[in-house]
Amino acid sequence: MSEDKLYWIWLSSIPGIGARRFYKLMEYYENPQRLYYASEVDLKAAAGILGEKTADQLLKARCDENLEVARTLMESSDLEILTLLSPSYPPLLKSIYDPPPVLYCRGRPLLCKQHSIAVVGSRRSSEYGRTAARKISCRLAQAGVTIVSGMARGIDTMAHKGALEAEAGYTIAVLGSGVDYVYPAENAALYRSICDQGTIMSEYPPGTIPSPGNFPARNRIVSGLSHGVLVVEAGTRSGALITVDCALEQGREVYALPGNISSPFSQGTNKLLKEGAKMITSAEDILEDLEGTLAFPSMAMLQSEPERQAPVLDFFESLVYNALEDGEKGLEELIHITQMPAGQLNGVLTLMEIRGIIRQLPGKIFMKQWKT
């Protein structure tokens, strides 16, 4: 697994290769290690997938020096690196269309077995918005809800601070830079507090500086980690509305706090309410939803599902099912374990997916869906 992780880190660190391009490459090459050692003839497919400029960057990145950088990151004592194949990769995030292939985390190990709510809003905010974000986040955290935000100025900062004020409160800060870069600089103390009590997370490798293009991609992770998104205060052009778009695409619930109709800081949130977002005036409104009407069941509900009749598996399906017993695997690894020809294995995987026994993740990675 460690060698697999090494090449995942290497590939995801190449500029221009985001999640979607990463998975497109995996559809052809099956795993990053195979791509690293592919012949020049085989690499022609990469040019068609990436375009000439990024494909050229990929070619130049295939060197021992870059692999050693990835190994150094992997062996860093203050960094937890998760790939999509890691058992502790957040299940909610794994379910979105383009989950990050690699996550860099600093601070506490991720807590994934509890409800999570993203609290977002504008950098420029009013005292009303900042106070509300802090108070609601604190109450949610007291109830055991993880608070997810982006550590930006304004509402994000207040959301994290509110969560940290709760006894045993936990928060995740998703950055648009590497996890070693404090942005904005004024949040250095908050950054240290989150490292102590929560988790700092990024899909960008350490050393990556903040860039405007990184933040919209970051927002899909904020919503992807969460059961719902609360917009506390946002203008009509706030970046928080990008998070709302991501949430809607991911099937997450959207909540909004009503604001002063004369305030420019509330125009975006009030517009969301007119368009169908759920209005909340306290943390209790969200807590009731989490235990009631929210589409995502609680962990207790998940653990007490009524028993369903186990599917009958033939010999080849049993080989695949047993191979997935200890976690997700890629196509090439399944070929190696089951010793089935690629064509036959693809047919078996397709039928098992149709029957709901297994599930295919981006990059031709497969996992068990039916729990016995």
pLDDT digits over 282-305, tens only?
A: 999 999 988 864 544 443 433 334
Residue 97 lies in a domain: no
Residue 121 lies in a domain: yes
Please tell me the predicted confidence (pLDDT) of residue 299.
39
- Clarify whether residues 323 and 287 are in a common domain: no
Please tell me the predicted confidence (pLDDT) of residue 85.
86
- Clarify whether residues 228 and 142 are in a common domain: yes
199: containing domain: 107-301
Separation between Cα atoms, residue 362 and residue 22, nearest integer Å: 9
Regions of the chain short of the pLDDT cut 50: 1, 293, 295-308, 372
- Clarify whether residues 297 and 321 are in a common domain: no
- Clarify whether residues 145 and 288 are in a common domain: yes
Please tell me the predicted confidence (pLDDT) of residue 292.
66
Burial class (CB in 10 A: 0-12, 13-18, 19+), 3: exposed
Give the list of residues 6+ apart from residue 268 with CB closer than 8 angstroms, or none.
122, 231, 234, 235, 236, 237, 238, 240, 241
- Clarify whether residues 127 and 160 are in a common domain: yes
Residue 297 lies in a domain: yes
Strands 228-233, 116-121: pairing kind: parallel
Contact 100/93 with Cβ under 8 angstroms?
yes
Please tell me the predicted confidence (pLDDT) of residue 305.
40
Torsion angles phi and psi, residue 133, rounded to 5: -60, -45
Residue 95 lies in a domain: no
Count of structural domains within the chain: 3
Please tell me the predicted confidence (pLDDT) of residue 30.
80
Report yes or no on whether pTM surpasses 0.85.
Answer: no
Please tell me the predicted confidence (pLDDT) of residue 370.
66
CATH number at residue 352: 1.10.10.10
